[in-house]
Structure 1
């Protein structure tokens, strides 16, 4: 069975359902989970960089606070199930690339993720992060709806 499950988590209810599924799988197989939250970096316009510097600092702090809360939420579910869990938040433009790299770096043997997250119109135009992970990942990906 699966011994190390990666669960990308974006804070949505769908993502929490995927996290619960991944944690339950890890419990049944006596495995462990790694939770990954990818934070989109603050986008600045070059000529307004000086004006937006304070806004970027505030954004980064709020994003880190949200990430800590998201990771703590999933950690609580894993703790209640008795499943070893480690969480990490990383800034990155392309969440799918970070997810696929984490699978390799952490030697995961399964990814459990929701079918979509908080990507809105961008998801419709560019494709979902889940779709991109499915196309590029070398391990099985369980997609939860």
Structure 2
């Protein structure tokens, strides 16, 4: 069945449900969990006269948040004896980072959360989960 399960995390409450599901599946199938948190690259438009944000400060803050997110998944896995590999990655495109990571690490399932946006809201805000579903060649389990 599944041997390498990827669960991306952004630290949100909805993502916690996906993490719980991924850990439960891993426990049932004897799989290893992989987790990533995608960091935004520095937005050079953030430099302004009003409120300059230095690149290193921005990148450090992104790394702190992403590291905290994957550490929480790793701790949850270790608490129940599931092996977990955690990474933070920088990308302008979350869905591409998730799909690429899954391919590079031989994952055979992606477990992701969805906020369940529909209609105009989904069109305007987009959906990283929907893009992963569209572009992934491996199964994706969507948790709401």
**Under TM normalisation by the shorter chain, which class is it?**
0.7 to 0.9
**Cα displacement (A) at 1:52:** 4.1
State the secondary structure of the residue aligned to 1:45. helix
**Aligned pair count?**
140
Distance 2:139 2:133 in 1: 8
TM-score (norm 2): 0.88
Is 1:91 the counterpart of 2:90 in the alignment? Answer: yes
Runs of at least 5 residues in structure 2 that lack an aligned partner in the other structure: none
C-alpha contact 2:40 2:92 (8 A) present in aligned 1: yes
C-alpha contact 2:46 2:53 (8 A) present in aligned 1: no
Change (3 A) 1:115 1:43: same
Matched with 2:4 is: 4
Change (3 A) 1:70 1:5: same
Distance 2:46 2:25 in 1: 46
Change (3 A) 1:18 1:64: same
Distance 2:98 2:121 in 1: 18
Change (3 A) 1:74 1:102: same
**Aligned counterparts, 1:36-51, within 5 A:** 36-45=36-45, 48=48
Stretches (4+) displaced over 3 A: 46-49, 121-124
Matched with 1:13 is: 13
TM-score (norm 1): 0.87
C-alpha contact 2:18 2:113 (8 A) present in aligned 1: yes
Runs of at least 5 residues in structure 1 that lack an aligned partner in the other structure: none
State the secondary structure of the residue aligned to 1:10. coil
Distance 2:40 2:121 in 1: 13
Is 1:22 the counterpart of 2:17 in the alignment? Answer: no
Distance 2:125 2:24 in 1: 32
More helix by share: 1
Matched with 1:76 is: 75
Matched with 1:59 is: 58
C-alpha contact 2:112 2:129 (8 A) present in aligned 1: yes
Distance 2:133 2:57 in 1: 34
